[in-house]
Structure 1
Amino acid sequence: MSSKDNKAKTFKKEFIFTAIALIAVGAMFVILPESSTKIICYVTAGLLCVWGIIKLFMYISAERQQQAFTSFSLVGSVALIIGGVAIFINPEFFASILATFFGCVMIVDGVLKVQYGVDLAKIGAKMWWTILILAAVIIGLGLVVVFNPFSTAMVFTIFAGTVLIFNGISDIVTTIYVSHIYKELAKKQKTITLTDEDYKDVD
């Protein structure tokens, strides 16, 4: 398996892990709207630490030749662990910026989906425009979460939780779809390469 395939699989796993984490946090917002803030702070801290440890383990277990190209994974894993520990130490501060944090996460996620849509359009994927529409929806919902136009905290919390669940599910669907498209593209390229080699043999 090539290094590109390894990176693609690693990215897919991390993206799905993030999506599941968003769904879990969103579910807590919906189920426990009155007492979820502090709980979500600790859960978020735990998820960051686990994610950082997983990335650190993947870096350590990688071959030495690959470690030179995955130094960002080492920096990212340490940053995630430090972030998780910081939230554990001072959950009150994180609670005060909780809505803004998750709103910004959604906006960034929407921007990434825009890039996916553009890339899919370049390679001629049929449903590329659906990714762009989904990205626009995610960005719009993220802005609503950031600016919080709701009159009560409970309504806002339930709305934010529902949006996070939707975002997580859309991330999983997008990841599966993009992976499928690139697998099909890789098969076509492999077929073209084999055909060219056959012509060379005939010549």
Structure 2
Amino acid sequence: MKQHLHSMDRNLMSLLVCIGELVIGVLLLLNPRGFTFAVFVALGVLLAALGIARLVGYWRAEAAVAARSGGLVTGLVFLLAGGFCIFRWQWFVMTFPILTVVYGVVTLLNGLNKLQCAVDLWRLGQRYWYLALTGAALTLLFGAVILANPFATMALLWKFVAIAFLVEAVLDLVTLLFSRR
């Protein structure tokens, strides 16, 4: 019973990741600059809220407890980082080549994780393990292409990333559906 619930949780999480990839892919195709703005402003708001919470916690705590907490510094750092994300989000767009490398590395790591899943499905005797392997291979390919960065413009790269998200999401969803049989 416990294993069945764990499997359901894992399937639900996989389904949520697929839906997230689909939404991100569509939003990137429709408006990459607006999507970037929204992501960094949302991150900034979250960091600012965490910073305010840490500062409030620091000032509400007893002096001896507050002195050991580091709440003042972490609160100010979160608040400053949040303000930077909200008011200077364009900086992230300007540093896009560096972020592209980070995204490429994350995509490669994701591909390796998917490869692990495909091999596990194969070893478990699942019938459609090759679908997961196809998804892993494409994810690894997308990561390699992103790291090679052969794109002339940022707009083309955003479209490529959006299509990569959509293809990965569809393959992950198909793998999820077929692995349940």
State if a TM-score over 0.5 links the two structures: yes
Equivalents in 2 of 1:86, 1:15: separation in Å? 34
CA deviation after TM superposition for structure 1 residue 88, in Å: 5.0
Q: Which aligned pairs between 1:32-51 and structure 2 lie closer than 5 A?
A: 32-42=31-41, 45=43
Deviation at 1:173, TM superposition (A): 1.8
Instruction: Output the CA distance in 1 between the equivalents of 2:160 and 2:5.
Output: 37
Percent identical residues: 23
Q: Quick one: distance in 1 between partners of 2:81 and 2:23?
A: 18
The one-letter amino acid of 1:173's match is V
The Cα offsets for residues 88-139 of structure 1, whole Å up to 9 and x where unpaired, read as 5543376545434443443233222212221222232333233223211111
Q: Deviations over 1:35-74 (max 9, x none)?
A: 432223346x49x99xxxxxxxxxxxxxxxxxxxxxxxxx
Query: Stretches of 4+ moved more than 4 A in 1?
Result: 85-90
Partner of 1:158 in structure 2? 159
Residues 28/106 of structure 1: CA separation in 2 closer, same or farther (3 Å cut): same
**2:25–2:164 contact (8 Å) kept in structure 1:** yes
Partner Cα distance (2:83, 2:37) in 1: 12
For the 8 Å contact 1:28–1:40, the answer to whether it is kept is: no
Q: What's the counterpart of residue 17 of structure 1?
A: 16
Is 1:3 the equivalent of 2:2?
Answer: yes
* TM-score, L = length of structure 2: 0.64
Match of 2:72 in 1: none
Matched, 1:29 2:28: yes
Relative to 1, partners in 2 of residues 1:118 and 1:129: Cα closer, same or farther, differing over 3 Å? same
Listed one character per residue, the Cα deviations across residues 144-182 of structure 1 (whole Å, up to 9, x for unaligned) are 22442201111111111111111122222222222x14x
What is the aligned partner in structure 1 of residue 176 from structure 2? Answer: 175
Count of aligned positions: 143
Contact 2:100 2:147 in 1 (8 A): yes
Alpha carbons 1:41, 1:87 under 8 Å: kept? no
Q: TM-score, normalised by structure 1?
A: 0.58
Task: Classify 1:3/1:101 alpha carbon distance in 2 versus 1 (closer, same or farther; 3 Å).
Answer: farther
Does the CA-based 8 Å contact 1:23-1:168 persist in structure 2?
A: yes
Map 1:181-196 → 2, pairs under 5 A = 181=181
Which ranges of structure 2 fall in alignment gaps of 5 or more residues?
A: 48-78
Alpha carbons of structure 1 residues 13 and 89: separation in structure 2 relative to 1, 3 Å: farther
Tell me which amino acid in the other structure corresponds to 2:117.
Answer: Y
Q: CA deviation at 1:31?
A: 0.6
Alignment-derived partner of residue 80 in structure 1? none
CA distance in 2, matches of 1:33, 1:13: 28
RMSD over aligned Cα, in angstroms?
3.1
